[in-house]
Structure 1
Amino acid sequence: MQANMAATTDSNMNISASIAGILNEEHCPEHLQVLKTFTTALRDKEYRDTVEEEAFSSLLKVLSRLCDELQAASCDNQDLQSITLQLQLTAECFRAQRNACVQSTRNQSLLRELGFIDISFKLLSLLQTTRLESRDSIFEPLRCGIQFLGNLSVGNQMCKDDIWRLSFPNLFLQLLSVDDEKAVNYASMVLHTCLDEAKVEELSDPQNIQLALRVMELCRTQPDLDWTVIIATQYFLKCSALVESMYSGMSHHERVTLLELLIAQLQEEHSRDCGIPPSVASFLASSFHTGCGAVLTLATGSASSDEVLQEALTVISLLDVLCEMTSDHRQFMFLQDHPDLLVTTVALLEQVHAIGKASKNIFSAAQNFSAFGEDGGPSSHSPVISFKAHLIRLIGNLCYGNTNNQNKVRELEGIPLILDNCNVDSNNPFISQWAIFAIRNLLEHNKQNQEQIAALERQGNADYSALRELGFLVEERDGSLLLKTVRKDS
């Protein structure tokens, strides 16, 4: 045991002396080997736990010297070979720092106290402004430096706070904009590690919102970067102030990405308590009410620009989110009492239905089932596939167990409108089922609605053949109307 301890002490002293020796000489390839030896040694937990502070102090001096040299090189025209070696040495310093912090609170704290965070940030900023013929040579030290910050911050609140103070928001924004996917992924990991509720609130301030928008842009353009999606779902969607700030500052294309993440979060298995605040639901309902008319431009062909098309697609995504929120999520059922949502939805359904019947257009019903491709989905890429069906679904959700909304739909002449959409429509898969679902919710414990459907049947104003074809029968019993399931061959 004593022999092992002595060997470890000797190794410590030899490496410390070798690192210190770098400071007294011009840089050469042998120095790179010295640093690589230190990096390799730090992979061993026993060595990592006993490495002397002196070794880190010498490493810090080497890193500071490299920072000064790279800063001078960015101003002067130094030869490429010299700069390349400086970048390699910088990367190896960062690797040693990274390895030192693995499962070692002692080393995390020690490196923080010695000043490694400040000099590392200075280098990371400098690397992004260094003028080189080949930008690729900076990516290795950039990646290693960001990985160091990640390992330094894991499980260490003081390090997290220091990193946040020095990098928020500008340096984080720079690192997330580097033209290197690995560096961006590592930076996303560091950002995720540092975040908490209070820091997310800071992101919603106007001067900081660009960082949040950059994360969302990466969710859209590089969906394989898991950390940005995790940041968005674990933190961003749970802060109503941030959601509203981001939504206001986004293009319609970016809004669709945000709404798709919301839908995925709502549909996540076992996510009945999905963490999305009720205020976010209210905001989205109001946004749907304000902007829903944009979808009508798709029928007239006036959606000539991509921006107009994206605005319409935003409305469609808003509708999908609201359908999910009002489906078996108790915390969002207060949307039934939203002052404008039901009226807006019924009015939009009426407009879309009328436009579709007036002439052949994107909202017209179709029986073109041959358009379904081999994969079972529509070969048509129409943006309004299922739009009418989802309007009816939302009306059904908002009327579930809610007498006021049942009555409101009747007063808005919504019942005949929904009955007129019971026919099979290849542009709206499952529209018949959603119409029946809505009618059921409208009739439940509501005698006035039952009486209206009975009156429509007596007057011949409603066609129930579609209901019968689907196995349902409208039946009057004791003055009330019932929606009854029957066998199709009866």
Structure 2
Amino acid sequence: MEDAMLKFSLPENILQPLFSVSNSSTLDETLELLIEASKTPGGRLDLGSKNILPVVLQLSQSLSYPSGHDILLLSLKLLRNLCAGEMTNQNLFIEQNGVKAVSTILLSFVGLDSDSDYGIIRMGLQLLGNVSLAGERHQRAVWHHFFPAGFLEIARVRTLETSDPLCMVIYTCFDQSHEFITEICGDQGLPILAEIVRTASTVGFEEDWLKLLLSRICLEESHFPMLFSKLCPVGTSGNYESIEFKVDVFASEQAFLMDIVAEILNEQINKMTVSSDVALCVLGILKKSAGVLDSVSTCKSGFSAGSNAINVLKYSLTILKEICARDAQKSSNEHGSVDVVDLLVSSGLLELLLCLLRDLEPPAIIRKAIKQGENQDGAASYSPKHYPYRGFRRDLVAVIGNCAYRRKHVQNEIRERNGILLLLQQCVTDEENQFLREWGIWCVRNLLEGNVENQRVVAELELQGSVDVPEIAGLGLRVEVDQKTGRAKLVNVS
């Protein structure tokens, strides 16, 4: 009955061609049959030769809501399939002003709030994505109809169904266009990107389009600082060197963005170059998050395990670890290039990391040694800070170790800051810091490689008041407790 009602309300010049091609007499069955046929390249080519796309496009514009909802979804699905890599249909879609028609449909559904409505938007975006893959002319048609207002409205729809295909459309349009890159990173485009991140941080993502989008914007185009600032909580500033320490200085969306950027770097470390602007921005964020941590360390409540500041602290260290993992020779061999690691070190990275490491309570094995030393010798006690998250110590050691790789001036600075003993202390297993021992050994190896002065410091460690711990003895080291401070250190058994 419903199909009959739709049939009589639609023009014959729309229904008859569809019924003729599908050899069916009901609209829903016709569309289902054509959708099945359009799943193969041969089927799409055949339907393109029969000029079906303009008819289906006209059908989608003739349907009323909500009675025609299901037929509209089938129509968009058929259009999506027809434009999947078939140039004839992709060109017909542009020539028939299909972008404008689909734009009108999609934006009329943005304000609605049901899963079925989101399905309409998703199908329409997938259609536009397929059309955009055809080339510059098609990309320009989509971009000019949707940027900025249309993209912004859809980006504010907080659903996974619409977020993934929206990222596909935007990325496909600007990927080869310097003009569109400039626009999406400008005053009108950044709000769109910020809304995309807010949506993804709420509902997640399943496809890789979000990572492709953020990789291009944040790293290749070096617009991470601007996007990160755009996600600031209300009432705060993007200047992470000057704002007042507050627990809520970071938003969850900012932590989410840093998490994604860290994943991107981890996946593409050998082919991804990080600019000095991005690296220094991350260092500023690290300083701010560490400062927030310090400012609340005396509070009774402290941080919760999932606080934004702690997450930002964690991801900033992860990003810096990946940045510093690049071989120093890669930078020095590039003519006129800036060594980002050297820039970070000269901007206070090493000093900050060593300070944070010194402030921590020692690993469990070292704490055991300290306790024994206090019982035996009455050594003074001190009040160390606790871990803000599991793995914090390991991350600090990892960044320091990567910084020291084949950089003698970094090795020297660590020695001059009395960091060698501190880092030797990290060559132990620790339940709260998985792989600490491995990162500690890597770090010490980098400290000593090719550096006679650092090797001499280790060789000349004096044996006094040692405490035997089997786990450390197995490494050829032993623990000693400083009688004045109560702090432990590691020395060579030989």
TM-score, normalised with respect to structure 1? 0.70
Larger gyration radius, structure 1 or structure 2: 1
Alignment check: 8 A CA contact 1:173 1:211 kept: yes
The gaps in structure 2 that reach 5 residues or longer are 1-9, 18-24, 232-249, 333-338, 369-385, 479-489
Counterpart in the other structure of 1:414 = 419
Deviation at residue 422 of structure 1 after TM alignment: 4.5
Who is 2:69 aligned against?
A: 87
Distance 1:178 1:364, change over 3 A: farther
- Does residue 162 (structure 1) correspond to residue 145 (structure 2)? The answer is no
Structure-1 residue corresponding to 2:406: 401
Tell me the SS of whatever aligns to 1:457.
coil
State percent identity of aligned pairs. Answer: 21
**Higher-helix-fraction structure:** 1
Match of 1:125 in 2: 107
Q: CA RMSD in A?
A: 4.2
Deviation track 1:228-280 (CA, whole Å, cap 9, x = no partner) reads 43434552343344211111123442233223223323333x75113544543
Work out the CA distance in 1 between the residues paired with 2:360 and 2:411.
25
Cross-structure match for 2:374: none
1:472 to 452, 471, 476: 476
User: Does structure 2 conserve the Cα–Cα contact (< 8 Å) formed by 1:424 and 1:431?
Assistant: yes
**Residue in structure 2 matching 1:19, options 14, 30, 35:** 14
Deviation track 1:197-250 (CA, whole Å, cap 9, x = no partner) reads 533442222332122123323443333421443434552343344211111123
Separation (CA, whole Å) in 1 of partners of 2:187 and 2:205: 28
- 1:114 maps to a residue whose letter is Q
Distance 1:196 1:271 in 2: 21
Corresponding residue SS for 1:272: coil
Alignment match, 1:253? 252
C-alpha distance 137-455 of structure 1, shift in aligned 2 (>3 A): closer
The 8 Å contact of residues 401 and 442 in structure 2, kept in 1 or not, is answered as yes
Q: Is the 8 A contact 2:403 2:410 kept in 1?
A: yes
Q: Map 1:95-114 to 2 at 5 A.
A: 95-114=77-96
Read off the aligned partner of 1:469 and give its amino acid letter: A
**Equivalent in 282, 290, 294 of residue 292 of structure 1:** 290
Residue of structure 2 aligned with 1:313, choices 311, 314, 318: 311
Contact 1:473 1:485 in 2 (8 A): yes
**Residue of 462, 479, 491 corresponding to 1:457:** 462
Deviates more, 1:174-183 or 1:462-471: 462-471
Matched, 1:213 2:171: no
- 8 Å contact kept, 1:286–1:341: no
Distance 2:99 2:351 in 1: 58
Q: Deviations over 1:73-119 (max 9, x none)?
A: xxxxxxxxxx4333344334434433432332122212212212112
User: 2: CA distance between counterparts of 1:350 and 1:319?
Assistant: 14
Q: Who is 1:76 aligned against? A: none
Question: Which residue is equivalent to 1:477?
Answer: none
Q: 1:111 to 1:328 in 2, by over 3 A?
A: closer
Q: Which 5+ residue runs of structure 1 have no aligned equivalent?
A: 1-14, 23-28, 71-82, 368-380, 475-482
Quick one: which amino acid aligns to residue 258 of structure 1? L
- Return the TM-score normalized by structure 2: 0.70
Distance in 1, matches of 2:428 and 2:269, equals: 34
Q: 1:463 to 1:206 in 2, by over 3 A?
A: farther
- Give 2:272's match in structure 1, choosing from 263, 271, 274: 274
Higher mean alpha-carbon deviation, 253-262 vs 41-50, is at 41-50
Contact map agreement 2:428 2:440 (CA 8 A) in 1: no
Matches within 5 A, 1:15-414: 18-19=13-14, 44-45=43-44, 47-52=46-51, 61-66=58-63, 83-129=65-111, 135-136=114-115, 138-178=117-157, 180-196=159-175, 198=178, 199-232=180-213, 234-250=215-231, 251-268=250-267, 271-274=269-272, 276-277=274-275, 279-297=277-295, 299-301=297-299, 304=302, 309-330=307-328, 331=330, 334-338=339-343, 340=345, 343-354=348-359, 356=361, 383-414=388-419
CA shift at 1:389, angstroms?
2.8
Indicate conservation of the 8 Å contact 1:192/1:227, yes or no: no
